[in-house]
Amino acid sequence: MQFTIEVGRYNPDGNYAADAVPGEPYPPPWNRSPVRRYQTYTVELPDHAVVLDALIQIREYQDPSLAVRCACRSAICGSCAMWINGHAHLACKSKLQEFTKNGKTRVESAPSMPVIRDLVCDMSPFWDKHLAVKPWLQAKEPMPPPDQEYRVPNASMEELIQEVSCISCGACLMDCESFAVNADFLGPQALAQAYRYAGDPRDAKTKERLGDYSKPGGVWDCTHCYECVTQCPKGVAPLEQILKLRRMAVDAGYTNNAGTRHADAFATSVKHSGRLNELTLMPKSTGLFNIVGQLKTLPSAINMMRAGKLPPLIHKAIPGVNRIKAIFERVGGRFK
Ligand code: SF4
Ligand code: SF4
Ligand code: FES
């Protein structure tokens, strides 16, 4: 079967192939990506071929200048994550037939990551974030003697199996909308690993970890876009682990941060009026006595006014709000 592949080429020397098609710069928020050019290849492969088969065939038989990173070809090593038709996937797990749209498949390095060449991106941002969460056990004392195991209940380890499945491919970070606009965000993979260790009953530093993960760039900077859940090839579902970390951090007393204040303001408003008071949400999230922070939000407020999006000045409760309050009472927790 014949497949057409459009490959995003980037060459730091600027020496693009003669028949390359000029590409277009990416719109924000993907504006960190260098301008690339798209080059079209045609390959003959069996129906069941994957994107990586096509790239290897191109590199081996048509264009040895094409740079592509891969190793296992079995969705294990995580090295072939790249953008296929605008989202991060493992090239060795993506069937060409399923990805062919309008007669072609577009393949390129993820624009949120620095490009080294063609389809090979620099994974330094990924590994820096990974290391920043201290992804290793800081074991509780006393340690068992060397000839004995550190025994924990099976159930508590089953809770962590999902995160252990991570193959560090970076697909979740490549598509993370928060990372695309904020390079300091720890990102989905690092935070999923953070939960793996913070949630381990053998770890002695859970409280300190939760304090660190609650700082700017941590768990509260996730915007719930779900890209990491959708794109992860191993079912790690990083967003779910981030939500667990948030609950753990609040339970551990880390509530003096914009994220917790935002969640509190949201829940309090819905409990008392049945709907969100958008007028007070931003000031309460920033902190009512945080004058510098409040001043920083002024440009956004002015932009909203200019766009005619100012919420109503008088916030009215919906009819039957008592039923909403009853739900809060029944669910319990901090907003009972
Ligand atoms: S859900 Fe959060 S962590 Fe996951 S991709 Fe979206 S912003 Fe990033
Ligand atoms: S969480 Fe999933 S997508 Fe992210 S690095 Fe691990 S395996 Fe890849
Ligand atoms: S080549 Fe190893 S995951 Fe694709």
pLDDT digits (tens, 9 = 90+) for 217-251: 999 999 999 999 999 999 999 999 999 999 999 99
**232: Cβ below 6 Å to ligand 2?**
yes
For residue 16, the model assigns a pLDDT of 57
Model confidence band, residue 335 (pLDDT cutoffs 50, 70, 90): confident
Q: Are 245 and 260 in contact (CB under 8 A)?
A: no
| Best probe residue, ligand 3, of 56, 73, 82, 107 (max atoms within 8 Å of C-beta) | 73
| Best probe residue, ligand 2, of 90, 172, 239, 242 (max atoms within 8 Å of C-beta) | 172
Residue nearest to atom 2 of ligand 1 (CA): 222
CA 261 / ligand 2 centre spacing (Å) = 29
Q: Region 157-169: what's the mean pLDDT?
A: 92
Q: What is the DSSP string of 19-76?
A: TPEE--PPPTTSTTSPP-EEEEEEEE--TT-BHHHHHHHIIIII-TT-----S-SSSS
pLDDT tens sequence across 69-125: 999 999 999 999 999 999 999 999 999 999 999 999 999 999 888 888 899 998 999
CA 232 / ligand 3 centre spacing (Å) = 13
**190: Cβ below 6 Å to ligand 2?**
no
Q: Are 209 and 218 in contact (CB under 8 A)?
A: no
CA 161 / ligand 2 centre spacing (Å) = 13
Structure tokens, 260: 């917790």
Work out which ligand 2 atom sits closest to the CA atom of 167: 7
Q: Ligand nearest 231 Cα, by number? A: 2
Binding-site residues, ligand 1, Cβ < 6 A: 176-178, 188, 222-228, 238-239, 242
Work out which ligand 2 atom sits closest to the CA atom of 173: 4
Work out which ligand 2 atom sits closest to the CA atom of 78: 8
Judged against a pLDDT cut of 50, whether residue 25 lies above it is answered with no
At residue 161, what are phi and psi to the nearest 5 degrees? Answer: -60, -40
CA 167 / ligand 2 centre spacing (Å) = 6
Beta-bridge partners for 107? 7, 84
Beta-bridge partners for 3? 43
pTM beyond 0.75? yes
Q: Which domains does the chain have, with CATH numbers?
A: 2-121 (3.10.20.30), 124-251 (1.10.1060.10), 258-335 (no CATH)
In terms of average pLDDT, the best of 111-115, 208-212, 304-308, 331-335 is 208-212
Task: Give the count of alpha carbons within 13 A of 203, CB side only.
Answer: 20
What is the Cα–Cα distance from 309 to 217, expressed in whole angstroms?
28
Q: Region 246-257: what's the mean pLDDT?
A: 94
Residues in CB range of 302: below 8 A, 6 or more apart: none
**192: Cβ below 6 Å to ligand 2?**
yes
For residue 226, the model assigns a pLDDT of 97
Residues in CB range of 155: below 8 A, 6 or more apart: none
Q: Ligand nearest 188 Cα, by number? A: 1
For residue 15, the model assigns a pLDDT of 61
For residue 299, the model assigns a pLDDT of 87
